[in-house]
Amino acid sequence: MEIVRQLKPKGIVVIPRDIRRQIYLEEGDFISFKTEGEKIIIEKKKSDVKAFLKHFLRYQKNGKTMTLAELKKIEEESYDIL
C-alpha cells in the first residue's frame, strides 16, 4: 500500500488512518525512524510495559521464576525502545 502525504511545517506528517489501523497504531504509541539511502522506514515500537509483560508471562507460562538479574536485563532492554 502506498499513500502520499505532504510534509507540513516543522516536519509534521499525518500517518493515514488506514495504515494506523492496519498496524494497531494508537495515540501515545512510540514509533522509530530509520533511513536506508533515500528511504525513511517508520516502525511501531512496543512500549516498555508491553515488552516487560511479554518476557514475564513467558517465564510464568513455563513455570519458571525470574531472577533479579533477568528483571534488570529486561528493564535495560526496554529503554532501548525509547
Q: How many residues does the chain have?
A: 82
Amino acid sitting at position 62: N
Q: CB of 61 within 8 A of CB of 50?
A: no
In terms of pLDDT, which residue wins out, 64 or 81?
64
Task: Give the cell for residue 79.
Answer: 529503554
Task: Give the cell for residue 36.
Answer: 536506508
Domain ranges in the chain are 9-45, 48-81
CA nearest to 26, candidates 48, 10, 44: 44
Angle at 36 between CA 35 and CA 38, to 5 degrees: 85
**Statement: the pTM of the whole predicted model exceeds 0.85:** no
Confidence of residue 82 (pLDDT cuts 50, 70, 90): very low
Task: Domain 9-45: give its CATH architecture.
Answer: Ribbon (2.10)
